[in-house]
Amino acid sequence: MSPAGSDAQGSSTRPYLLRALHDWCTDNGFTPYIAVQVDASVQVPPEYVKDHEIVLNIGFEATSGLDLGNEFIAFKARFGGVAREIVIPVDHVVAIYARENGQGMAFPMASEASEDAAAPAEPGVAAGSRGLRLATSEVEGGAPDTTAGEDRPQPAQPPAPTEPTPPGGGRPTLKRIK
């Protein structure tokens, strides 16, 4: 019997990829952000949720007691000067990226995961990333508070790379890494 039990596919790669990209951001002096699909199983301040999504700074400077586990991401962060306990199921993380240059990875949303596994992705579009549009705004402690998502078709070819935006200016872009 395999270490993952009788499941031939093994455990999800998402928590491992999240930890790896968090480490990459930290090692390179970037600020790791995650976009999260919010439902009743996600513990975040509801006043910062927009369109069932939230973007969070998970850098060590913005969090306390960060635990990037296989099932949940848990930490404490300040929102409007008030410390809050944050608990996010790993399968609700739809993207992780560096704030400074937008490089990162998108994942299927929890409700789309089974759909995307059955249906092939559109050419040039990462599975589950259709409609993902990231926008951040800062709250105290550097933690962003919202993200917006719309179901819009994505271009077949990703846009040409742009120069990194200086910290505090402009919106970060999400760059797909294959």
Task: Return the domain boundaries, the chain.
Answer: 14-176
- Has domain 14-176 been given CATH number 3.40.50.300? no
Instruction: State how far the alpha carbon of 100 is from the alpha carbons of 72, 146, 151, 162, in Å.
Output: 25, 17, 25, 12
- CA 53, CA 10: separation in Å to the nearest integer? 28
Instruction: State how far the alpha carbon of 53 is from the alpha carbons of 20, 44, 46, in Å.
Output: 23, 10, 10
Classify each residue of 94-131 as buried b or exposed e, where b means 16 or more C-beta atoms within 10 Å of its C-beta.
bbbbbbbbbbbbbbbbbebbeebeeeeeeeebbbbbbe
- pTM for the whole structure: 0.62
- Asked if 71 and 89 touch (Cβ cutoff 8 Å), the reply is yes
- CA 30, CA 27: separation in Å to the nearest integer? 8
- Asked if 121 and 127 touch (Cβ cutoff 8 Å), the reply is yes
Per residue of the chain (178 residues), what is the pLDDT tens digit?
A: 445 444 577 888 999 999 999 999 999 999 999 999 999 999 999 999 999 999 999 999 999 999 999 999 999 999 999 999 999 999 999 999 999 999 999 998 766 544 444 333 333 333 333 334 443 333 333 444 333 333 333 333 444 444 454 455 556 666 666 6
Query: Which residues pair with residue 130 across a beta bridge?
Result: none
- Name the DSSP letter for residue 48: G
- CA 110, CA 128: separation in Å to the nearest integer? 9
- CA 115, CA 112: separation in Å to the nearest integer? 5
